[in-house]
Structure 1
C-alpha cells in the first residue's frame, strides 16, 4: 500500500497557472470524495518557481491514508508568449505549418493514425476558409448593391473580403480555440525542427527535477503524468534523465509513467521528429519503469488505438507491452446527463482524463494520484473498482454488495471497448 507519493504533471499546450491548476484539482478532489466515499483535499500553499509549482494533497479512507506531493512542471510562460503574437504573424506561420505538414506527408500519416486527430489539425484552417468565404460573399454582395464595375469593383470586393474575414477572425479567434490551435501547431512545427531553444532548455530543467526527486524524495513511488502534448515532453524529459543516470529506475523508488490523451505521435510521425521517436524508444526500453497509456474513443484530440512507440494502429487493449495500452470509455466516467450535455465539447472531453469521475470506473485520475494502490495495480485493466467499499475502505477482494456491483459495471465497461 502506498502511503507517500510524488506526482509530476506535465500539461499540454495550455497556459494554465499554478493557481488555476490548484483550483481544477480541488474541484476534482471534491467529486472524487463523493464518488469513492473518501476524504481528500489540498493541505498546503503553492510553492512556485518559474520551472515548477508544488503542493500537498492528502487523502484517506477508514483503513488507509496517503500524502501526495503534486508538482506541476511549468511552461505556461512560453505558451503565453506565443499567444501574444499578432494576427498576421499567426496566419503566416500557420500557413507555413500547413504547407510543411502536407509536403512532408505528416498530415496524411495523421489521417492513417486517427482521422479525428487529422480533423483537429484542419479545424482552424477550415474556420479561416469559412471566414474568407463569408468575406467573398459580402464583397460580391456589396459590389452588386453599389453597381460598380471594372477595376473599382475588384478593389471594393477584395477590400470587403479581407476586412470581413479579418474581422471575423479577430472576433472569434480568441472566443473559439482557433488562435490557440494555430499557436499549438506553430509550436509543434518549430519544436520538431529544433527552433525552440528556450523550450529545449526548459525540458532540461524538467529532467533535473525528475532526477532530484527520484534520488532524494522520501516517497514510495514517483509518478510522472503527461497529458496531450505533455506526453511527448514526458518522453523527452525522462529520456534525458535516463541518459544522465542510466540507473535512475533502480534508485529504490518505483518510477512510473502515465500518459493520457497522448499526442506523442504528432511529433513522431513527422520526418524531423527523430528525437521524440528516440526518446519514446528509450523510455520503452527501460523495462524497470512501468508505463501505462490510456486511450478513449470519444477523445478526438489524441491518437486513439495508436501505439506511440511502434507507430502502428492497435486493435485492442494490450498488457505487457511498452507501453501498456488501456482503452476506456469517457461516458463510463460521467453520469449520463453530463455526457449528453458535453458530447460535442471536444476540449472538455479531452481534459476528462485529468478530472474526478462522477461514476466509479476502471480509470480515475484522482485515485491514481492520491489513492493507496501501487501504480501497476491501479492502472491494471480493472483499476480500483473491486478494491473500495462504499465507505472508501480498501478491500482485500471484491466480496459483496457494492464491490460486486462495481465489478459487474467494470466488466461491462471493458466489454464496451473491446
Structure 2
C-alpha cells in the first residue's frame, strides 16, 4: 500500500514515449496504459485516471494520480514513426526474401551475429527466427509445388493422347509449380499477424540495410523528436521524461545526444529523465556503420544534466537483458561513465507464479510487460514512474545497479562519428 506521507518533487510532468518498430496506431499505447494503469493502481493501492487532451502534440493524453495524498498531473505523448515502419514493411514476397539474404549476410560477414550471441542468446534466437521460419515456408512451398507437378504429370499420363510429352507438358509443370508455391507463400504472408516472421524480418532488415547507419527519413524524424523534447523542456513542468521502448531506446539515445550537443542545460527548468525499456541497442551498435549511435552512447553516458535508467529482464527473450548498452558496445569513456543505471524488472519475482506461467511463452507479450501491471511489484512501476510524485532521479537516487549486469565490451566496431 502507498505511504500516508509520500514525498513529492513532481506535480506536473511531460512524458514523451518513443515506441519500437511498430506499425500500429498510437491509440494502442493509450488503451494499454488505461487498462494496465488501472490494474496496477488497484494492486498497489493508489489512484490513477486518464483523460483526453487536445492540441498537445500528434497523439497525447492526460493522467492524474494520487499516491499517499500526493497529487500529480502528467501528459503523455507518443512520438510517431509508424509511417516509416509501415513504408519499410511493404516489400513483396520476393523482396522480403532478398532482405533475408542481405540481412543475414550483414550480420554474419561483419561478425556481429557471433558477438551478439556472447551477450544474450535470446534476442539472437529471436533474430534468427524469421530467417528460419521464412526459409521453412519456402521449402514447404517448393515441396508442395513439386508434389503438385508430380500429381499433374500422373494425371496427364492418364489422358488418351500424349499431351504429356514435349514443351506443353513442361510449361504446364512450371506453371503448376509456381502457382502452388506462390499460393503457399501468400497464405503465410496473409497470416503473419500470427507468425510475425515478415514483421521481424523487416524489423531487423531496417537496421541492417545501412549497416547500422540511420536512413535519411529516420534522421529527419530524430530531428523532429528533438524539437518536441525541447518544446517540453520549455514548458511549465517539473520533469520531462523520455521513454524509449525496444528499438525506440536507441532512437531516444540519439535524440537526447543531439540535445546534449546543442548545449541545453537545466537551469531553472524541469529535470530531464530518460527511461529505456527492453532495449535492443547492440543489434544496431555492433554493425560496422553505426558510428552515429556509438558516438551518441559515448557522449550521453557522461552527461550530468540527465538521469538515465535502463530496465530489462532476463525473462524477455527479445531484449538484451542486463546488458549495459554503452559498455558492451565498447564506447565507455576511459575515465568512467555516469549512465545508465542498469537493473532488472525481474519478471519471475515481480509476477506471481500463476501470472508468469500464463504469459512466459508469449514472447511478444513479455516484451511489452515493462508497460504493464505487475501483481508483485518491487521498485519498478511504470505508472508511478510516468505519473507518480517522484522524479526519475529521486526515485532511483539510492538504487544500485544489478550485480548480474553485463559490461564486458563485445563489439568488433567501436568507431564513432566525428
Task: Name the residue aligned to 1:378.
Answer: 395
Task: Name the residue aligned to 1:391.
Answer: none
**TM superposition shift of 1:227:** 0.5
- Aligned in 2, Cα 1:193/1:375: closer, same or farther, shift over 3 Å? closer
Select which of 360, 364, 374 maps to 1:357: 374
TM-score (norm 2): 0.82
Is contact 2:212-2:288 (8 Å) kept? no
Select which of 79, 86, 90 maps to 1:80: 86
Gaps of at least 5 residues in structure 2 are 1-7, 158-163, 331-336, 407-418
Task: Name the residue aligned to 2:136.
Answer: 130
Q: Secondary structure at the match of 2:241?
A: strand
**TM superposition shift of 1:36:** 1.4
Q: Secondary structure at the match of 2:374?
A: coil
Select which of 266, 279, 296 maps to 2:313: 296
Is contact 2:318-2:367 (8 Å) kept? yes
Is contact 1:44-1:55 (8 Å) kept? yes
Select which of 41, 45, 48 maps to 2:49: 41
Task: Name the residue aligned to 2:416.
Answer: none
Gaps of at least 5 residues in structure 1 are 314-319, 384-413
Task: Name the residue aligned to 1:197.
Answer: 216
Q: Secondary structure at the match of 2:198?
A: helix
Task: Name the residue aligned to 2:301.
Answer: 284
Select which of 212, 226, 238 maps to 1:207: 226
Task: Name the residue aligned to 2:12.
Answer: 4
Q: Secondary structure at the match of 1:42?
A: strand
- Aligned in 2, Cα 1:251/1:14: closer, same or farther, shift over 3 Å? farther
Q: Quick one: distance in 2 between partners of 1:195 and 1:364?
A: 32
Q: Secondary structure at the match of 1:85?
A: coil
* Cα-to-partner distance string for 1:35-59 (whole Å, 9 max, x where unaligned): 111111112335465xx42221100
- Aligned in 2, Cα 1:323/1:20: closer, same or farther, shift over 3 Å? same
Q: Quick one: distance in 1 between partners of 2:345 and 2:51?
A: 31
CA-based RMSD: 2.9
TM-score (norm 1): 0.82
Task: Name the residue aligned to 2:98.
Answer: 92
Q: Quick one: distance in 1 between partners of 2:403 and 2:43?
A: 22
Select which of 13, 26, 30 maps to 1:22: 30
Select which of 43, 66, 70 maps to 1:64: 70
Is contact 2:18-2:78 (8 Å) kept? yes
- Aligned in 2, Cα 1:351/1:220: closer, same or farther, shift over 3 Å? same
Q: How many residues align?
A: 379
- Aligned in 2, Cα 1:80/1:176: closer, same or farther, shift over 3 Å? same
